[in-house]
Amino acid sequence: MIDIQYSSEVRAAKEAGQPIVALESTIITHGMPHPQNIEVAAQVEQDIRDAGAVPATMAVLNGKLHVGLESEQLQELGRAQGVAKISRADMAACMSGGGTGATTVAATMIAARFAGIEVFATGGIGGVHQGAETTFDISADLHELAQTSVTVVAAGAKAILDLAKTLEVLETLGVPVIAFGQDEFPAFWSAKSPLAAPLRMDSTEEIAKAHAMRRALGIPGGQLVANPIPDADQIPAKELAPIIAAAQADADAHRITGKGVTPYLLQRIFEQTEGRSLTANIALVRNNARLAARIATALSAHDAQVCPIVPMPGTA
Ligand code: PSU
Ligand code: MN
């Protein structure tokens, strides 16, 4: 009943039991301007291959759920205008209606779980927006993390969000938030924030083992791995704060709501930093892709040890 299409690369990886890393497509259609979006999408896929895993970029194309895109499909999606941004609420309607949509973190997690992929790399997750106490704007990504068992590697939450409230909601929802290699929760364009992360891990093996333990315990929901942006690529939080505040005021003045908010803010910040926000964004996504590939590899190795795949008679 579900029309699902694996890319040739992902199909082969599944058959061979190779580690696979899921990637979202909203970052391509709504998160970065053309033509960098296509270059970055291809580069991030290559980073995953270079780190020994296989990339699976998710999207819904003409009603079909694609797990992994062929290169032409990725380019077409990156060029297309007016592609829908789909999350948990509208993914099924998009598929049943034969539509085309780019997957957010939430929708990518649903697709990944469905395809049996347990590790996913992105830039930043959605979270609790500033002023959420009046707008109630809280990303469906947080609720997805609470119920879909995929480990998501992100550079923390975007500094356009209220990071303290985002961490509170993640705590309420029972989502483990693991800072990689530091105590602080990273703030997307900056490696550090004043907030302590609830958990810290320093190796990919630890992260893979914690993921496997949650699975063994039958705890639904994923882990958020917060991977700090490399030092050299940071934009100081002090420098960004007024730009973010102006972008937020602008969004309020234009009465931007719902799923329009995040793309609007990202675009304004891109303009106001003369593209520096994009350069940093690219660096952190690539950094996350490399870490996710290592986690997926560690998870495969861990699973092979716990339940070794016994070769079929006559094939060894
Ligand atoms: N990170 C980026 N750029 C993006 C996003 C994340 O660097 O465009 C997207 C992701 O797809 C994320 C979505 O799931 O923004 C969150 O949107 P919202 O706040 O409307 O839930
Ligand atoms: Mn929102």
Q: Which residues are catalytic?
A: 24, 158
Say yes or no: 39 and 110 in one domain. Answer: yes
Model confidence band, residue 158 (pLDDT cutoffs 50, 70, 90): confident
CA dist., res. 225 & res. 180, Å (int)? 7
DSSP assignment of 143-166: HHHHHS--EEEESBB-TTB-HHHH
Model pLDDT for residues 224-276, shown as the tens digit of each residue: 999 999 999 999 888 999 999 999 999 999 999 999 999 999 999 999 999 99
Please say if the pLDDT value at position 159 is more than 80: no
- The residue whose CA has the least distance to atom 17 of ligand 1 is 126
Say yes or no: 142 and 89 in one domain. Answer: no
Task: Decide if 180 is inside a domain.
Answer: yes
- The residue whose CA has the least distance to atom 11 of ligand 1 is 104
Model pLDDT for residues 184-211, shown as the tens digit of each residue: 999 999 999 999 999 999 999 999 999 9
CA 90-281-102 angle, 5° bins: 20
Say yes or no: 142 and 90 in one domain. Answer: no
Say yes or no: 7 and 105 in one domain. Answer: yes
Task: Decide if 155 is inside a domain.
Answer: yes
pLDDT confidence of residue 310: 63
Task: Decide if 75 is inside a domain.
Answer: yes
Please say if the pLDDT value at position 316 is more than 60: no
Model confidence band, residue 2 (pLDDT cutoffs 50, 70, 90): confident
Say yes or no: 183 and 289 in one domain. Answer: yes
Structural domain harbouring 15: 1-117
CA dist., res. 305 & res. 308, Å (int)? 5
The CB of 127 under 6 Å from ligand 1? The reply is no
State the closest ligand 1 atom to the C-alpha of 127, by its place in the atom list counted from 1.
Answer: 19
How many independent structural domains does the chain possess? 2
CA dist., res. 205 & res. 208, Å (int)? 5
CA dist., res. 113 & res. 58, Å (int)? 12
Say yes or no: 79 and 133 in one domain. Answer: no
What average pLDDT does this structure show over 71-91?
A: 97
DSSP assignment of 177-245: EEEESSSBPPBTTBS--SSBPSEEE-SHHHHHHHHHHHHHHT--S--EEE-PPPGGG---HHHHHHHHH
CATH for 287 = 3.40.1790.10
The CB of 140 under 6 Å from ligand 1? The reply is yes
Task: Decide if 314 is inside a domain.
Answer: no
